[in-house]
Amino acid sequence: MGTVRNILQAKGHGVFSVEPAVTVYDAIELMSQKNIGGLIITDQRSEKLLGIFTERDYARRLILKGKSSKDTAIGEIMTENPITVSPDDSIESCMKLMTNRRIRHLPVCDGGKLTGMISIGDVVRFIIDEQRAIIEDLEQYITGHHQ
């Protein structure tokens, strides 16, 4: 099975991030424009990873608590100190981590530096593509069409 590095090579290392002072409304607007389910919260000066904000945070920490998205800073409701993975972590370990902890997004850090983010969708896509390639190889081997 592959590693997080394989996913990032295919999808890229781009990460959408905002500072903690940004309003929840502006963060949700950015997520909608980029069609993403999570944002990284960073200190722009130090580029330090402060937290993560997801659609789940929005529903549970803002809506259910009766707060206003236009008056609340994202830093107030983000998940602090999110679980991270490294580029060398296996896809299998990420899948187990995401399933056991019930999370859908994992920031990727390499030597303490944020280098990307993967989602459960990225993991599932990778596994499906990998299994498809294995099946094709096996079919070619069985039918004698291998090199």
pLDDT confidence of 71, banded at 50, 70, 90?
A: very high
pLDDT of residue 34: 94
pTM to 2 decimals? 0.85
Q: Is a pLDDT exceeding 60 seen at residue 147?
A: no
Q: Three-state SS for 13?
A: coil
**What's the number of domains the chain is made of?**
1
Between CA 121 and CA 109 the distance in angstroms is 19
CATH of the domain at 130: 3.10.580.10
Per-residue confidence (pLDDT) for residue 78, from 0 to 100:
95
Query: What is the pLDDT at residue 64?
Result: 81
Per-chain mean pLDDT for the chain: 91
pLDDT-based confidence at residue 87 (cuts at 50, 70, 90): very high
Distance (Å, whole) CA 142 – CA 147: 12
What range does the domain containing 128 cover?
4-143
Q: What DSSP character marks residue 85?
A: B
Q: What is the pLDDT of residue 140?
A: 85
Q: Find, among 46, 42, 49, the residue nearest to 20 by Cα.
A: 42
State which H helix or E strand residue 107 sits in: strand 105-110
Give residue 67's pLDDT: 86
In 2-147, alpha helices (H) = 4-11, 24-34, 55-57, 74-77, 91-101, 120-143
